[in-house]
Amino acid sequence: MRKLLQGVFEFRALRRSAYRETFARLALGQSPDALLIACSDSRVAPNVFASTQPGDIFVIRNVGNLVPAPDQPPGASEAAGLEFALRRLEVADIIVCGHSSCGAMQALLASASDLPRVSAWLRPAAPVLARFRAGARLPGEWSDADQLSQLNVLAQLEQIRAYPEASERLSAGRLRLHGWWFDLSGTELRDYDPTLGAFVPLDEPRVQAILARMDADSAPGASVPSCAAVGVRAEAAGLKHHQ
């Protein structure tokens, strides 16, 4: 708490005036570039590794970066956030971001009985754990929890595809899905490449390739975004629509 309070003081003293115009503009409305669904973990800092500013991204964070199935009873904050992002903010990109050393995935692997509320929250991810135990793996020398975390990102992307408002926009070429995974120890943000079936570093060549595809997707006559091909890979890996 001391660090937070010191940060508030420093913001007021050193940076507040520089942001005054930005927040005055944002007070009139928001138009974020993307929806980011990330884990609550304090070590995952999208504003740091993506160099974002206020108003750039609409954020949903929870334990394990989970997305509820669309047929669940209404009221889940994640479903509400997804609906708002698509129907009101009309975001064109949705990112699901997992990470290494994820406590939620470790708890899922261990069936942590001392965390009953966490276990109940993670119950919808049980099919991902079952697939992992059945041998599903992605390329790379990762720990069991990290492998599960990567598989979980793909499963949540498929959950999003099952929402009617997302499915309609994907089919119309108005929405792209991205799977990101942050390697904490390597300080490396990775992006899921559906052609390789692996999470690859988001380095300059990768970023330029994605930007080129985005430009092609927005060109006249373009249909389904290339990023939507993640569903093909996920289905082939047995990751289609976890419930």
Distance separating alpha carbons of residues 127 and 124, to the nearest angstrom: 7
Query: Tokens in use for 70?
Result: 């669309």
pLDDT on residue 227: 45
pLDDT on residue 71: 86
Distance separating alpha carbons of residues 180 and 48, to the nearest angstrom: 15
What does the pLDDT profile of the chain (243 residues) look like in tens digits? 999 899 998 989 999 999 999 999 999 999 999 999 999 999 999 889 888 999 999 999 999 999 999 988 777 899 999 999 999 999 999 999 999 999 999 999 998 889 999 999 999 999 999 999 999 999 999 999 999 999 999 999 999 999 999 999 999 999 999 999 999 999 999 999 999 999 999 999 999 999 998 888 776 655 544 444 444 344 434 444 333
Beta partners for 198? Answer: 193
Q: Are 98 and 150 in contact (CB under 8 A)?
A: yes
Instruction: Tokens 């929250």: give the residue.
Output: 121
Contacts of 91 (CB under 8 A, 6+ apart): 32, 33, 34, 35, 58, 85, 175
pLDDT on residue 222: 55
Question: How much is the pTM?
Answer: 0.88
Instruction: Tokens 């985005």: give the residue.
Output: 214
pLDDT on residue 51: 86
Residue-range domains of the chain with CATH: 1-30 (no CATH), 33-236 (3.40.1050.10)
pLDDT on residue 219: 66
Strands 34-39 and 57-62: parallel
**Per-residue three-class SS string for 90-112:** CCCEEEEEEECCCHHHHHHHHCC
Q: Say if residue 196 is exposed, middle or buried (CB neighbours under 10 Å; 0-12, 13-18, 19+).
A: exposed
